[in-house]
Amino acid sequence: MVKLTVDDKTYQCQPDETVLEALLREEVAISYACKKGTCHSCMLRSSDTMPPLAAQSGLKDTQKKLHYFLACQCLPEQDMTIKLPDQSEFYTDGTVTRCEPLNRNTLLLVIAFKDAFEFNAGQFVNLQRPDGLTRSYSIANIPQQDNTLEFHVRRMDNGLFSSWLHDEIKVGDTIAVSEPRGHCFYLPERGGQGLLLIGTGTGLAPLAGILTDALSHGHTGPIYLFHGSREREDLYRIDEMRQLAADHPNFHYVPCLSGPDVPDGFSRGRANEVAMSTLADLKDWRVFLCGHPDMVNQTKKMAFLKGASMKDIYADAFFLAI
């Protein structure tokens, strides 16, 4: 029999019994619905061993790499340590090494760690204040030898956490950082595939990490980045992105403005609408969407209608919280 370890408790999985069946038999609280691998309600993650391939059928490539699997389809072949979605997160203390403005309302925050912090560019973490207040922020850089994470933090109106970072945090301060989460990141397989990156506001943060990762792996397919805002002053890293486009012929950077004042060198309109009017066919493309939930949800449908597979559409919606 195979042993399943969940939250430091061990359960026996009988032969020909799925992980879901074993955990339900042991009265472990776990979400499920169809039991056929369709709804993905019972998706779990193995923290030590690779799940059977059959248990990962229908999942995104990035989810597979992180060892996610469907409990209802998993007939375990070896002992597994399983992490449930609602298990408490592990936090590591980091030290602030940079905090400086990127534009009129966005802060560059860099946090360093003593030990290696493993992540994939484009994932996000939870930052936690000493009083327990917690917010999620996307990682904007690729793994570095100096073990740092870069964040782009927009000041929110009446934002308790963002105001604290903008007004009070300083170099040398300690801040708690959770384990990385999310499956919106680049994989080097299919290096000739087209990549479409669309972001609004600080949605540039994860996209910048994904872009840097793709270029560092020598991605040969076309890469388009559409970054949008209403006003010119709310965009940032424009010169840096234009230089990257000059250095890499397969990379195309399109800054978009939806307000009335659109200077030369910028495209008029919302980033997702400009992107969809620029690219007629997204068949076999990978699509990364980061920004306002309405934009993300609308563009998922638009990309699918233009031929992109839902398995190749990766999204992180930014939910506003004070």
Region 172-190: what's the mean pLDDT? Answer: 92
Amino acid residing at 207: L
- For residue range 15-33, list pLDDT tens digits in order: 999 999 999 999 998 888 7
pTM score, whole prediction: 0.80
Where does residue 259 rank: exposed (0-12), middle (13-18), buried (19+ CB within 10 A)?
A: exposed
Mean pLDDT, the chain, rounded, equals 93
DSSP sequence for 132-176: S-EEEEE--S---TT-EEEEEEEPPTT-HHHHHHHHT--TT-EEE
What are the tens digits of pLDDT across the range 88-112?
567 899 999 999 999 999 999 999 9
Does residue 87 register a pLDDT over 60? no
How far apart CA 72 and CA 1 sit, in angstroms, is: 18
Distance CA 105, CA 38 (A): 42
Rounded Cα gap, residues 26 and 14, in angstroms: 12
Overall average pLDDT of the 210-221 stretch:
97
| CATH code given to domain 2-83 | 3.10.20.30
With cut-offs at 50, 70 and 90, classify the pLDDT of residue 158.
Answer: confident
pLDDT attached to residue 145: 85
Provide the Cα torsion 178, 142, 221, 62; round to 10°: -20
Matching CATH number, 195-317, of 3.40.50.80, 3.40.50.300, 3.40.50.1980, 3.30.56.10: 3.40.50.80
Domain topology for 91-178: Elongation Factor Tu (Ef-tu); domain 3 (2.40.30)
Q: Where are the domains of the chain?
A: 2-83, 91-178, 195-317
134 pLDDT more than 90:
no
List the 223-229 sheet strands across, edge first: 267-268, 251-257, 223-229, 195-200, 286-291, 313-317
Which DSSP symbol is given to 116? -
Q: What is the tally of helices (H) and strands (E) in the chain?
A: 7, 17
pLDDT in tens, 233-265: 999 999 999 999 999 999 999 999 999 999 999
Amino acid of residue 48: D
Spatial distance between the Cα atoms of 153 and 108, rounded to a whole number of angstroms: 7
310-319 pLDDT per residue, tens: 999 999 766 6
Tell me the average pLDDT across 203-222: 97
Provide the pLDDT confidence category of residue 86 given band limits of 50, 70 and 90.
low
Residue length, the chain? 322
Confidence of residue 231 (pLDDT cuts 50, 70, 90): very high
175-199: average pLDDT:
93
Q: Which helix (H) or strand (E) holds 273?
A: helix 271-278
Dist CA 251 CA 212 (whole Å): 11
CA distance 54 to 270: 41
